[in-house]
Structure 1
Amino acid sequence: MRQAAKYAFLAWFGGSTYVTLEVFWRARSHWTMFVLAAALFVLIGLLNEVWSWNLLTQAVAGALIATAAEFVTGCVVNLWLGWGVWDYSALPGNLLGQICPQFTLLWVGIAAVAVVLDDVIRWRFFGEERPHYRLCRTRS
């Protein structure tokens, strides 16, 4: 039960934080973005629970996961359902208007922040190990 509460809180935090940032950035959001961000926050947070990667590797992996999830979600909500949640078709390098390299780079920074926030929440609220990081090298 404690594990379920922890992951529910982490999902709520990630989803709420992302939607809040998106409202400040674009002046709007969509409920599907809460669901996607909640799932991504949990997934990205699990990267260092499973692998002993440095922070940069986790951020790049998180960005790739987020980009793939954004592409799949965009194909469903924008192309298949026609909800028009976002459209990157005017940006260079876009793929079907759902993802683009510029936002993948932005996701690297967001994923790094997500890794740290996930760890701090786990440490402060759930009594897990205090976070410590290596930026580019893995412990030997």
Structure 2
Amino acid sequence: MKLSQLLFSFLMGYFCYSLIEIAMRGYTHWTMSLTGGAVLAALYALNSRRKLTLIRSCVAGSLIITAIELTVGIFDNVIMHWNVWDYSDMPFNFLGQICIPFSCFWFLLCIPARALCRLISIRLSSVPRYKKAVPITSEQPL
């Protein structure tokens, strides 16, 4: 895995998550854009190093996203008091920063994220996907 692949996946996560959040809530916070980038880079690393089934990839991805969300939530909302989000009214929440319903949503979001990670890997791979054509010389029969 190359640094360029991780950087590209970070940028894709940064922009894609920002767009999803703007579409769903109407706005986003700059820390959520960074979080989206960190999440997709982590998912890219997860999906490129292991041959996981879709279900295992989604379970691991959901746990990774939930852990990152908890970390960012404690910093943003508890320490800095920026009130970026609050899951206090959601069932099975922890400190209002993470909750089971959103962890289930992250599980589902890992399906297109996995496909995006595979696409990034294919597009940025250093291995050529097509066999190069050999030029015809005068010594070779037609």
TM-score (norm 2): 0.84
Question: What's the offset of the Cα at 1:5?
Answer: 2.6
The higher-RCO structure (CA 8 Å, 6+ apart) is 1
Name structure 1 gaps, 5 residues minimum.
131-140
Question: What's the offset of the Cα at 1:122?
Answer: 1.6
Question: What's the offset of the Cα at 1:128?
Answer: 5.8
- Counting matched residue pairs gives 129
Question: What's the offset of the Cα at 1:62?
Answer: 0.2
- Report what 1:96 is aligned to: 95
Output one character per residue of 1:51-86: Cα deviation in whole Å (capped at 9) or x when no partner. Answer: 221011101100011001101110111000000100
Aligned counterparts of 2:85 and 2:11: Cα–Cα separation in 1? 22
Q: Residues 123 and 18 of structure 1: is their aligned pair in 2 closer, same or farther, counting only changes over 3 Å?
A: same
Name structure 2 gaps, 5 residues minimum.
130-142
Alignment of 1:7-86 (within 5 A): 7-86=6-85
Aligned counterparts of 2:4 and 2:100: Cα–Cα separation in 1? 35
CA RMSD of aligned residues (A): 1.8
Secondary structure in 2 matching 1:103: helix
Secondary structure in 1 matching 2:94: coil
Aligned counterparts of 1:19 and 1:126: Cα–Cα separation in 2? 26
Aligned residue identity for 2:114:
V
For the pair shown, which has the larger CA radius of gyration, 1 or 2? 2
Question: What's the offset of the Cα at 1:129?
Answer: 9.1
Aligned residue identity for 2:112:
V
